[in-house]
Amino acid sequence: MRVLVTGGAGFLGSHLCDYLLKRDHEVVCMDNLITGNIDNISHLSGNERFSFIKHDVTEYIFLPGKLDAILHFASPASPVDYLELPIQTLKVGSLGTHKALGLAKEKGARLLLASTSEVYGDPEIHPQTEDYWGNVNPIGPRGVYDEAKRFAEAMTMAYHRYHGVETRIVRIFNTYGPRMRLNDGRVVPNFISQALSGKPITVYGDGTQTRSFCYCSDLVDGIYRLLTSEVDTPTNIGNPTEFSIMEFARKVIEITGSGSELIHEDLPVDDPKVRRPNIGKARELLGWEPKIELDEGLKKTLEYFRSRVS
């Protein structure tokens, strides 16, 4: 296949580029580098099946030649990013998705939308299943990301139903691994960088809120299975093993051998109290479930972060 990956210089986008190239596909990576990093794809520069285009997907996308699939991953994806870039986040979820779907329609390509567990908001059911409509505050500070993704899902399904575009929607739960930014703002890079620097580890609230953590290689495998499947409705991909933030902080301290203390700060507005995917649909229809345990994944991530923390 010839595949376009929007946001391809980002954390997950770059891992997708690697995965596709290893399966002998041709990859066009598109990114405006607002939150992506060219270093994430620099190792691919000599690959004749890889090309990079610096472009803002909220503008018209021109791509000559055939195209079989689009993986639409362009978007700020961490609280730090979308709180600093609220308008850009809303635009890429709406205008960017519209442009990507227009390209898919023109080329007869299949489009996979990277959605998020944030469409469930601060959930009132646990674990979260794909038929849950969510509990989202549309005017809160996190609403710029949550509602951008919810709109993107609605737009994707509209193109699927009205124009007959082949579409897939993945709802991604917390994912971690190499190439995350140190200042990403998400819990994994926050805790690891603080631990490696010997700084206090910042736990928001009392730390009883929960998250589940999926290693990037597991997630990318699930995304590819969804792309090549016949499942055209939203599908959760994530790790169903759940940890409290306090448990996770202690695990990071243990694995890094850090002497960092734990300090508490106020919980951010609308921060979800629980987050855990029900992956029954992915297990049944895609034959997928995560394989990398948290300790193993954290050790792999730690190797990457050690070289970047002074």
Sign, Cα dihedral of 32, 33, 36, 39: positive
Written as six digits, the tokens of 210 are: 């929960």
How many CB atoms sit inside 10 A of residue 253's CB?
Answer: 18
Sign, Cα dihedral of 137, 141, 146, 149: positive
Taking Cα atoms as reference points, which of 52, 35, 288, 24 lies closest to residue 185? 35
Catalytic one among 19, 120, 145, 224?
A: 145
Angle between helices 294-306 and 245-256 (to 10 degrees): 60
Taking Cα atoms as reference points, which of 3, 10, 31 lies closest to residue 107? 3
DSSP letters spanning 67-85: --EEEE--S--SHHHHHHS
Written as six digits, the tokens of 271 are: 């921060």
Residue whose pair of structure tokens reads 């499942």 in the numeric block = 231
Q: How far apart are CA 50 and CA 56, in angstroms?
A: 19
Q: How far apart are CA 176 and CA 179, in angstroms?
A: 9
Three-state SS for 232-275 is CCCEEECCCCEEEHHHHHHHHHHHHCCCCCEEEECCCCCCCCCC
Q: How far apart are CA 287 and CA 303, in angstroms?
A: 30
Residue 145 bears catalytic tag: yes
Contacts of 259 (CB under 8 A, 6+ apart): 198
Catalytic residue numbers, as ranges: 145
